[in-house]
Amino acid sequence: MTALLETRLSRRSVLQAAVGAVGPATAAGALGVLPALRSAVYAAGSDKPEKEEVKIGFIPLTDCASVVMASVLGIDKKYGVRIVPSKEASWAAVRDKLVNGELDFAHVLYGLIYGVHMGTSGPKKDMAVLMTLNNNGQAITLSKKLADKGAVDGAGLARLMASDKREYTFAQTFPTGTHAMWLYYWMAANGINPMKHAKVITVPPPQMVANMRVGNMDGFCVGEPWGHRAIIDGIGVTAITTQDIWKDHPEKVLGTTAEFVKKNPNTARAVTAAILEAGKWIDASLGNKQKMAETIADKSYVNTSVDAINQRILGRYQNGMGKTWDDPNYMKFYNDGAVNFPYLSDGMWFLTQHKRWGLMKEHPDYLAVARQINQVEIYKQAATATKTPVPKDVMRSAKLMDGKVWDGRDPKKYAESFQVQV
C-alpha cells in the first residue's frame, strides 16, 4: 500500500479542492446549503425529494467514483438528499438488493438492468436507468502464461487456442452485463465463439486478480482498477481496452426500479443531478482526478493502492509487456455532458447482444423496451439543474472494432448480422 492510501483524504481537503475546481456554489452544498441557496436548486414544496436519505449500492471499481464523490463532497446536500454509499460483494447481490428494495439505487452494469427488466438475469422486475455514469475504462486481461505463448491480443489468442487444444476459461462479471458483452464481442471478432470454443465463468470484480493468480482462468474482462492491478502484480497483460472495442461506449449506469421512480420522481431527479455534478467535478482537472483516486482507493470503497487507480484515469496505459501509451479515450465521467445522457440506442445495443448470445429466444420490441427503462425526461430535468448540455437525439451511432456500425435503426437486422453467434 502506498502512503497516500494510508493517509485518507480529509473531508476538509476535498472541500477545499471543490471550491477551487467548481466554485463556491457547488462547494456550498458540501458545507451545508443555506435555505436560500437550496430553494434555488429545488422548491421546498412540490419539488422536494420524497426520500431525503438514499442508499446507493456500488461495487469496488473506479467507475463508482461519481457516486462516492457526490457523497464525500457533499454535493448531494445541495439537491436536498443524503447519499449513503453501500459497498456490495457482487453484481448478483446488487441485483437482489435493488429488486427487494434494500437499495434505493445502484452503480450498476447497463446490461444487468436490462436483463432484470426482461427476466433474463434473475427475477423479472420493471427497472429504470436514470443516467450513464461513465464511458470507457474497462479492459480484457490475458494471463502471463498465455502471453508467454504468444497470446497477447485477439489474433494471438485465436492462434493459440487452435494449436494448443484444451479447455480455456474466461471470466466476466455478470451474465447479461457489460463485461460479458465486451468479452464475447472481442472473442467473436477474432473468430472465437465464446459459447462453443471456451468455458465462461462469472467472477465478482474484486476477485478477478486473485483467481487469475491461482490459475482459475486464462483471461477476464473487468472494470478498472483490476486490469491494471493484474499488470502491477505481474500476472496478466492487457490484450485490449474496451474503448478500442467501442470508443466512448456506455458502461455503468445509475439504476433503480421503475416502482421507485414512480413513487419518488423528485428524489430520482435530485440524486441524478448530484451525481452529474460530481462527474463534472471529477473531469474538471487532473488534480480532481488525483483526489478522487486517493479517496476511492480507501478500504471503504475500492480497497487498493492509489497507483492502481490513478494512472489509467489519466489515460496513462501500459500493457504489461513493455508497451506504454497515452490513451485519449480513457474513463470519463462527464466530458461536457457527453457521457451521461441515457441514449435509447445504448440500451438497445445490449438487447441485440443478449439475443445474439441466446440469452433471449425471441426478438423484443427493442425501442419500446428502451423507452420503458431509460428515464430521459427525468435526466433532462437533472441536466437543466446542473447546466449540463443535452443532445438533440435520443439515438447515437458508433462503429465498433469489427467495422460494424450501430445506430439503433434496425436492431433485429443488426442482431442477426453477426457471423459468430449462438
For every one of its 422 residues, what pLDDT tens digit does the chain have, with 9 covering 90 and above?
A: 333 333 333 443 444 444 444 443 344 333 333 333 343 345 445 799 999 999 999 999 999 999 999 999 999 999 999 999 999 999 999 999 999 999 999 999 999 999 999 999 988 999 999 999 999 999 999 999 999 999 999 999 999 999 999 999 999 999 999 999 999 999 999 999 999 999 999 999 999 999 999 999 999 999 999 999 999 999 999 999 999 999 999 999 999 999 999 999 999 999 999 999 999 999 999 999 999 999 999 999 999 999 999 999 999 999 999 999 999 999 999 999 999 999 999 999 999 999 999 999 999 999 999 999 999 999 999 999 999 999 999 999 999 999 999 999 999 999 999 999 99
Domain that holds residue 112: 3-134+251-308+368-391
**Cβ–Cβ contacts within 10 Å for residue 287, how many?**
11
Please check whether residue 75 lies inside any domain of the structure. yes
Please check whether residue 41 lies inside any domain of the structure. yes
Q: Residue 113 is part of a domain; what is its CATH number? A: 3.40.190.10
Cell (9 digits) for 122 = 434473475
Contact assessment for residue 115 and residue 229, using Cβ atoms and an 8 Å cutoff: no
Beta-sheet pairing, 105-109 with 236-241: unpaired
Contact assessment for residue 218 and residue 170, using Cβ atoms and an 8 Å cutoff: yes
Q: Determine the distance from the C-alpha atom of residue 325 to the mean position of all C-alpha atoms in its chain, rounded to a whole number.
A: 23
143 membership: H or E segment, kind and range: strand 138-143
The Cα-based distances of 144 to 192, 218, 234, 381 in angstroms read 20, 9, 7, 48
Please check whether residue 262 lies inside any domain of the structure. yes
Beta-sheet pairing, 219-223 with 169-172: parallel
State the DSSP string of 253-311: EEEEEHHHHHH-HHHHHHHHHHHHHHHHHHHT-HHHHHHHHHHHTSTTTT-S-HHHHHT
**Cβ–Cβ contacts within 10 Å for residue 386, how many?**
23
Please check whether residue 204 lies inside any domain of the structure. no
Provide the number of structural domains found in the chain: 1
- CA-based nearest residue to 181, from 123, 247, 251: 251
- CA-based nearest residue to 241, from 138, 149, 160: 138
Cell (9 digits) for 90 = 457482487
- Collapsing DSSP to helix, strand or coil, 78 comes out as helix
Q: How many residues does the chain have?
A: 422
Please check whether residue 91 lies inside any domain of the structure. yes
State the DSSP string of 227-244: HHHHHHTTSEEEEEEGGG
Contact assessment for residue 52 and residue 307, using Cβ atoms and an 8 Å cutoff: no
Please check whether residue 149 lies inside any domain of the structure. no
Please check whether residue 98 lies inside any domain of the structure. yes
Please check whether residue 240 lies inside any domain of the structure. no
**Cβ–Cβ contacts within 10 Å for residue 99, how many?**
16
